Amino acid sequence: MPKRPPLTPLIAALPSTVPFVGPEAQQRASGRNFRARIGANESSFGPAPSVIAAMDEAAPDMWMYCDPDNHDLKVALAKHLGVEQKNVVVGQGIDGLLNIVVRLYISVGDAVVTSLGAYPTFNFHVAASGGRLVTVPYENDRESLDGLLEAVRREKAPMVYLSNPDNPMGTWWEAAEIERFIEALPETTMLILDEAYGETGPASALPPIDVSRPNVLRMRTFSKAYGLAGLRCGYAVGEEEIISDFEKIRDHYGVSRMAQIAGVAALADQDYLKSVAGKVAAGRERISIIARDNGLAPIASATNFVTIDCKADADFALRVMQNLLARDIFIRKPMAPVLNRCIRVSVGLDHELDVFAEELPKALAAARNG
């Protein structure tokens, strides 16, 4: 065997794995395209026509590098959020920002608190930094605020991750409860408040933005309600010094020129955003009706998906998902204990939900037959 440059001991000890197997990889493996792509929490409704027009106009200029300061997008975001530019940082989706913030605050061996079954990509960033993941079980299908707080105090954790509304269950806490949680946190614990689904849930779930707190970072994205998942653009809002620290290690050329232009145009078209939120709510209701018609129990959702309790064990839910995949319907499911009794279905276009409604009874029958 030839010799090769060694990995660092930390990276060498990690498993060779990825958090998600994408629908494209699954289609390549099967040799067939999905009839319904309702598993990745994308927006099948796409970006606003005004955003597409702005992207079309900008396409000839893609020979230029992006603005490394993300100036125009930061100006638009600051105005939209009612903060200063110095309180906003832009990154390659929330995933890219999570990578940076973990590197900023977590050393080898540090405890990082999250919920058992919450967004797994965050856990990968923690592992790559040598952090020690401390997980708290969900309580009644919601992230347990009291459980997270107790773990933070017990472990003296420098970071805690909370998504509200939540992925993968779609549940949420009202703003007053989030504010109570923030007030109770130690000042030395950084809260990563992931609000990727903030535009699809009730406004009452989002506390007013307070950029005076040096231990709260709120993250949002253009990937969900704005319909720009393929461009990878997200942002974080926080206290000035927290945001300035991102400059030390962020990829200044990581957010493309097209993503910046699309983000500005998307923020300018709030009427379209409202129309998408209405379509998402209608889609959630339809998925819930389909689930109930088949004897399943949809969980109330504030996101662009519905998590469905299959009313049996984890093996049964896995078979339901596998049988839907075999029928060319792309969905996903939670994998953590207790949550794994469910499948998760993203809101799609009408014809995609027609296919889901037609095939779900067959997939359930096949799952029950083993």
Using omega within 30 degrees of 0 as the cis cutoff, is the peptide bond preceding 165 cis? Answer: yes
On the 0-12 / 13-18 / 19+ scale of CB atoms within 10 A, 364 is: buried
Structure tokens at 309: 């309790």
Record the tokens describing residue 237, joined without a space: 């809002």
Q: Which residue has the tokens 């040799």?
A: 31
Query: What is d(CA 190, CA 238) in angstroms, rounded to the nearest whole number?
Result: 11
| pLDDT for position 227 | 98
Write down the pLDDT at residue 21: 87
Longest dimension (CA), the chain: 61
Looking at residue 2, what is its pLDDT? 84
What are the pLDDT digits (tens) for 54-79?
Answer: 999 999 999 999 999 999 999 999 99
Q: Are 169 and 140 in contact (CB under 8 A)?
A: no
Residues 6+ apart with CB under 8 A from 279: 45, 347
Edge-to-edge strand ranges of the sheet holding 305-309: 297-298, 305-309, 342-346
| 46 pLDDT more than 90 | yes
pTM of the model: 0.96
Domains of the chain, earliest start first: 9-46+271-368 (3.90.1150.10), 49-269 (3.40.640.10)
Average pLDDT over residues 260-281: 98
Rounded-to-integer distance, Cα 138 and Cα 142, Å: 5
CA distance 95 to 36: 25
Bridging pattern class, strands 234-237 and 216-221: antiparallel
Q: Where in 175-237 does DSSP place strands (E)?
A: 190-194, 216-221, 234-237
- DSSP assignment of 115-132 equals ETTS-HHHHHHHHHTT-E
For residue 332, what is the DSSP state? B
Amino acid 261: pLDDT:
98
- Per-residue confidence band for 17, with pLDDT thresholds at 50, 70 and 90: confident
Phi, psi (deg, nearest 5) at residue 148: -60, -45
CA 320 and chain centroid, separation: 23
Please tell me the distance from the alpha carbon of residue 164 to that of residue 195, in angstroms, as a whole number: 6
H and E: helices and strands count for the chain: 13, 12
User: Can you give the pLDDT at residue 296?
Assistant: 98
In this structure, the number of other CB atoms found within 10 A of the CB of residue 175 comes to: 16
b/e map of 247-283 (b: 16 or more CB within 10 Å)? eeebeeebbbbbbbbbbbbbbebeebbeebeebbbeb
Quick: pLDDT tens for 232-258.
999 999 999 999 999 999 999 999 999
Query: Tens of pLDDT along 330-339?
Result: 999 999 999 9
pLDDT, tens digit (0-9, with 9 covering 90-100), for 101-134: 999 999 999 999 999 999 999 999 999 999 999 9
Q: Please, which residues bridge with residue 90 across strands?
A: 235
Share of the chain above pLDDT 90, in %: 96
